[in-house]
Amino acid sequence: MADISIVHEHHLTPKKAREAAQKVADKIAEEFDMACEWDGDVLHFERSGVQGSMKLEKKRVETYIKLGFLMSAFAPTIEARVAENMALVFGPA
């Protein structure tokens, strides 16, 4: 099992931050075939072997991903892709 935790600071309005989070979720869903669902300011996503959430806060976004045994081999790749997508849509920290 592998856990990934990414915190990214941002300077977006709450509306823009939610739009950015949705862009990241759409990209994650496309690349990794995941289902995504909002619960307030928390976006939950999952598929077989992967569960995670993206929590929007006023000036930062926290992403947590829990990988199952088979997916843990891809942890570095998944972490890099998610961090890269977050930096692209949320802008520089």
- 20-43, pLDDT tens digit by residue? 888 888 887 887 788 899 999 999
Q: What is the pLDDT of residue 60?
A: 94
Q: Is the dihedral of CA 23, 28, 34, 36 positive or negative?
A: negative
* pLDDT computed for residue 67 by the predictor: 94
Strands 60-67 and 35-39: unpaired
Q: Which class in CATH covers the domain with range 2-88?
A: alpha beta
- At 3, the pLDDT band (50, 70, 90 cuts) reads very high
Whether 25 and 45 have beta carbons less than 8 Å apart is answered as yes
Q: Which two tokens stand for residue 88?
A: 């692209």
pLDDT band at 91 (very low <50, low <70, confident <90, very high): confident
